[in-house]
Amino acid sequence: MTTMQAGAAIDVVAVEKRYGQRRGTANVALRDVNLNVQSGEFVSLVGASGCGKTSLIRMIGGLAPYTAGSITIDGSPVRGVPQRLGFVFQDAALMPWRSVRQNVAMGLNEIAKTLSKQEARGRVDAQLELVGLSQFADYYPRQLSGGMKQRAGLARALVSAPGLLLMDEPFGALDAFTRLRLQEELALIVSESSTTTVFVTHDVDEAVFLSDRVAVMSASPGTVKEIVTVDLPRPRLGRQGLLDNRRAAELRDHVLRLVMEDQEARPSRPA
């Protein structure tokens, strides 16, 4: 099903993001962010709430402008939404007036033109099956639970076999079992394709299981403070296999310590 095309290479250099100035004070959300992601690589972004993960991933996906620095995809500056992009939003962002099947089909974008109706339907159905929504294909978003909406959003992002997959806490609203299952599915999907993935998560175990590298961000202003290489062999056995893996535990502890250092460094609020 997946057409083997090279995944996108991303280069983020000295990027800054400021949000609207009020009375002369700009909120600098990100400063001097540097990150390069190679073709086919899986990189997670972790860090405290508010450190700028969503801002960064939206800028990579051409959904928001940056205020300084540069972001290039395959050497070209990002201007607008790049082709062959799959984006999973933190809040699913489904079209309320379209059914689950129609929402997923929207993810086909331009590819839809190159497929027969039957082929397009086949692809959509295969994705719905993968995320366990086959029986709900004709439901509307208002009829779905939060986790089901997230799964529909995931199917919409994957249906085009994108060269670049950007995922903002895609599994945040899922129950523990579905989350583990989808982590394993995602690991399989990315290992079988050449898709480049940037994945935002608060779950350090999830980041270690899925990633080639984990970029740890710090806040105020947000920046990438350390990039940890996950030197666990692939293909990785299911999540279960990581539970008693010593190296995985070391990596998790290291990433967790980096994230927590940052939390502790924050000024504590007066009681």
Ligand X SMILES: Nc1ncnc2c1ncn2[C@@H]1O[C@H](COP(=O)(O)OP(=O)(O)OP(=O)(O)O)[C@@H](O)[C@H]1O
- Give the binding site for ligand X (CB under 6 A): 19-20, 27, 29, 49-55
Of 34-42, 51-59, 159-167, 173-181, the segment contacting Mg ion by CB under 5 A is 51-59
Name the 3-class secondary structure at 103.
Answer: helix
Q: Which of residues 175-194 bind Mg ion (CB under 5 A)?
A: none
Q: Which structure tokens are listed for 64?
A: 């928001």
149-164: burial string, b at 16+ Cβ within 10 Å, e else: bbbbbbbbbbbbbbbb
Q: Does 54 bind Mg ion (CB under 5 A)?
A: yes
Shortest separation between residue 114's beta carbon and Mg ion, angstroms:
34
Q: Report the 10 Å Cβ neighbour count for 228.
A: 19
Separation of alpha carbons 206 and 220, rounded Å? 25
Q: Which residue, 55 or 99, is less far from ligand X as judged by CB? A: 55
User: Among Mg ion, ligand X, none, what does residue 29 contact (CB within 5–8 Å per kind)?
Assistant: ligand X
Shortest separation between residue 49's beta carbon and ligand X, angstroms:
3
Shortest separation between residue 260's beta carbon and ligand X, angstroms:
15
Separation of alpha carbons 217 and 224, rounded Å? 4
Which element (helix H / strand E) includes 197?
Answer: strand 196-200
User: Among Mg ion, ligand X, none, what does residue 263 contact (CB within 5–8 Å per kind)?
Assistant: none
Contact 170, 86 (CB under 8 A): no
User: Among Mg ion, ligand X, none, what does residue 118 contact (CB within 5–8 Å per kind)?
Assistant: none
Shortest separation between residue 27's beta carbon and ligand X, angstroms:
5
Q: Report the 10 Å Cβ neighbour count for 113.
A: 8
Q: Which residue, 168 or 239, is less far from Mg ion as judged by CB? A: 168
Q: Which residue, 52 or 61, is less far from ligand X as judged by CB? A: 52
Pairing verdict, β 42-46 and 213-218: parallel
Shortest separation between residue 50's beta carbon and Mg ion, angstroms:
8
Residues forming the site for Mg ion (CB under 5 A): 54
